[in-house]
Each structure stands twice: as C-alpha cells, then as structure tokens.
Amino acid sequence: MMKELSYKIKNLHWTFISSVIFLSLVGLVMIYSASHAEGMKATYSQMLKLLLAIVIMFVVALINISFWQKYAYVIYFFGILLLIYATFYGYIGKGARRWIDLGIFNLQPSEIMKIFLVLALAKFFAERKIESFKDYLFLILPIILITIPFLIILNQPDLGTGLVLLLLGLIVFFVVGISMKFFIFTFLFGLILTPFIWESLHNYQKQRLLTFFSPYEDPQGTGYHIIQSEIAIGSGGFFGKGWLKGTQSHLDFLPEKKTDFIFSMLGEEFGFIGTLSIVGLFLLICFTGYLISNNIEKSFFSKILGISLISNFFIAGALNMSMVMGLMPVVGIPLPLVSYGGSSLVMYFIGFGLILSIDLTYKMNKEKNLTNIPFF
C-alpha cells in the first residue's frame, strides 16, 4: 500500500499542482493587502481554507477516476440535498440564504454543485452510445439534471452562479459532440424567453444589468462599484503603485476588494505587468488542464469531465476580469483561487484533484497496461 501510494505521489502532475498553488499564494498576498488594516484575521482564515483545499485536492487525486465515475449520481443527489438544505435552513448573508455554517467556513453548496453536475453529466454521456446523441429526446434527462439545481439556485437567489451552471451544462453538450442545431435552437429559445426572464428578475438584478450600459448616470449609486474599479485599474499604470500602496483600495473607495474586485486592487498595486502575469498564469493552468484532459485516449468520461472542469475555471476567471473592467455586468463571481472565500476555493481544488486523478489513472493504465487499477 505504501509503495503504491509513493508511486502515485511521484507521478502526480507537479507542474499543474505548482501552478494552482502559486496562484493561490498570490491570492493570499492580495487578501493581506486588502485587509491588513483590520489585522491578520482574514489572511489566517484564508490560509486555513487553502490548506484544507490542498489536502482535499490530494485525496481526490489519489483515488482512481473510475471511483468518481461509479458514484457520480450519488454525489450529484447529495449535492441536491445540500442545495435544498441551504435554501430552507441555511445561513443568511447579504440578503440571500445560500450558505451552510460548517464552523471553519460557510459552505455555499451552489459552488460545489458545479463539480457534482459535471460528474453526473460526464457519467451519463460516457455510458451511452455516441449514435444516440443525435436524438434530441435523448437529451431530456441531462437537461433535467441541469434544470433542477439551476431552479434551486435561482430561488436562493443567485443568478450569477445559476447562469454559470447552465453554461457548464452547454459546455458538456459541446464537448460530447451534440449537433450545432441544438445550440442554435437553445439560443433562439433564450431570446424568446428574454422578456419573461426580465420580468422575473429582482429589482437589484435589473439595476445591475442597466448599470452596465450607463454606469456614469448614477456614479454615487448603482454605478459606483464599476467606476471605482476602472479608476483603480487605470491608476496602476504600467508597473503599479506598489504592494500595500493602492489608494483606491486602502482609502476604501474600492468596494468588495477582498472578493469580487480583488483583480482591480491587483491592477492598482502591480499595474499592467502584474495583471498580465496573472492572466498568463491563468492561461497556463487552463492550457495544462486541457492537455491533460484531451490526451486521455481510453476514457470518454475523463475527457468530458476534465475539459468541462477546466472550462469552469476559465469561464469564472474570464467573467470576473471582464466584470471589473466594465466589459460585463456585475454578477458577483469571485476571481478563482485569488478572491477571499472558502466554498469556491474548495470547489476549484476538488476540480483540480479530479483532473490530477484523470492524469494519474491514465499514466498507471499506460504503464501497467491494465484497464482497471485498484483505487487508493
């Protein structure tokens, strides 16, 4: 057992691991800058969450990917139960009931559900014949698997996470090769539903969307967040003002500087060079994760799962960066691995653990020329 464990640890993709941990450490540095005036509490808290997330990543990585495929539906339904519990009995914060108090941190099941949904969809498509994908009736069950958590999350309310969940479902459909006609139909159907969706939105959600088009109409109100964010990024110039020397952030002009707008603070303190370096690190993680997933020849489940998980990471990063630069409406999506918070951090590290499991299982299968390796 110890020999096998040692072999597995040695054959983990350490370049990928180093990249995600380094980006997380950058997050700790920025969280300290955002909160050092209040003491070390936030930094210590995030450090503990990061250590927990890293441990979870290694545990997930050392388990054969076939285990996760076998129990994907069980994991999915466990996630649905967590969502329901959070909706009715969860902790209320910022006007929404979407957290479960675990003591160490408040768990947001809607974040973890992204991983659980992808697992279930990957299992569904991997265990069926590719020829059946052409039948649209075949898609009823996976659409139901997506719709159930989406409606629960929408009721919390959390529109941003709900939309990301829908987008993840569409990415899985694209990866497995569903006809483009389906995506065109989905787009047209979405356009038809737009007026009804608009009427169902809360007033603050409508205001966020309207503010995106004209933030300067209410610079002290609804447009304040994005205006201050753009000022912070622009004032950083090429090299930035220096760590702990940002004025927009440290004089409290920049809102949510530990979470949604931490990229703006990074731009102010480290400038264009700093933000470009972070974007480069994000792309390195995405590219490495994609290569790991797309090189899997023997497991369709692994390919679907890996590409979808790394796409989830890429989408969240792209949305957050676009949001703080005024290219997207403010939707409350944190910057992966960098923003303060436990649920999203744990969620991404579970995803990375699964990608590492895909890579490790493939290496062991290839070296031993076996189809089934006992999982640890």
Confidence (pLDDT) at 181: 86
Q: What is the mean pLDDT of residues 347-376?
A: 78
CA atoms within 13 A on the CB side of 177: 11
User: How many domains are there within the chain?
Assistant: 1
Confidence (pLDDT) at 298: 63
User: Does 369 score more than 70 pLDDT?
Assistant: no
Q: What is the mean pLDDT of residues 116-132?
A: 87
Q: What is the mean pLDDT of residues 336-345?
A: 91
Decide if 355 is inside a domain.
Answer: yes
Please name the residues in contact with 356: beta carbons below 8 A apart, sequence gap of 6 or more: 12, 13, 16, 17, 57, 60, 61
User: Does 308 score more than 70 pLDDT?
Assistant: yes
User: Does 375 score more than 70 pLDDT?
Assistant: no
User: Does 183 score more than 50 pLDDT?
Assistant: yes
Decide if 9 is inside a domain.
Answer: yes
pTM comes to: 0.90
Query: Each residue of 31-89: pLDDT tens digit?
Result: 999 887 676 888 999 999 999 999 999 999 999 999 999 999 999 999 999 999 998 88
Identity at 198, one-letter amino acid code: W
Confidence (pLDDT) at 125: 92
Confidence (pLDDT) at 226: 86
User: Does 322 score more than 50 pLDDT?
Assistant: yes
d(Cα 119, Cα 309) in Å, to the nearest integer? Answer: 9
Report angle CA 207, 325, 204 to the nearest 5 degrees: 15
Decide if 105 is inside a domain.
Answer: yes
What does pLDDT average to over the chain?
Answer: 86
Distance set, CA 361 to CA 61, 106, 176, 216, 334 (Å)? 9, 33, 21, 53, 31
Decide if 376 is inside a domain.
Answer: no
- Token pair listed for 36: 């050092």
3-state secondary structure the chain: CHHHHHHHHHCCCHHHHHHHHHHHHHHHHHHHHHHHHHCCHHHHHHHHHHHHHHHHHHHHHCCCHHHHHHCHHHHHHHHHHHHHHHHHHCEEECCEEEEEECCCCEECHHHHHHHHHHHHHHHHHHCCCHHHHHCHHHHHHHHHHHHHHHHHHHCCCCHHHHHHHHHHHHHHHHHCCCCHHHHHHHHHHHHHHHHHHHHHCCHHHHHHHHHHHCHHHCCCCCCHHHHHHHHHHHHCCCCCCCCCCCHHHHCCCCCCCCCCCHHHHHHHHHHHHHHHHHHHHHHHHHHHHHHHHHCCCCCHHHHHHHHHHHHHHHHHHHHHHHHHCCCCCCCCCCCCCCCCCCHHHHHHHHHHHHHHHHHHHHHHHHHHCCCCCCCC
Q: Give the confidence band of 124 by pLDDT, cuts at 50, 70, 90.
A: very high
Decide if 296 is inside a domain.
Answer: yes
pLDDT top residue among 115 and 295:
115
Confidence (pLDDT) at 119: 96
pLDDT top residue among 370 and 104:
104
Confidence (pLDDT) at 61: 95
Domain range enclosing 89:
2-368
Decide if 373 is inside a domain.
Answer: no
d(Cα 123, Cα 137) in Å, to the nearest integer? Answer: 18
Decide if 374 is inside a domain.
Answer: no
Query: Each residue of 244-286: pLDDT tens digit?
Result: 888 887 777 888 888 889 999 999 999 999 999 999 999 999 9
d(Cα 30, Cα 265) in Å, to the nearest integer? Answer: 8
Q: Is 97:91 a contact under the CB 8 Å cutoff? A: yes
Confidence (pLDDT) at 355: 96
d(Cα 311, Cα 218) in Å, to the nearest integer? Answer: 35
127-131, 223-227, 240-244, 345-349: segment of lowest average pLDDT:
127-131
Confidence (pLDDT) at 296: 60
Decide if 375 is inside a domain.
Answer: no
- Token pair listed for 25: 């450490």
User: Does 93 score more than 70 pLDDT?
Assistant: no
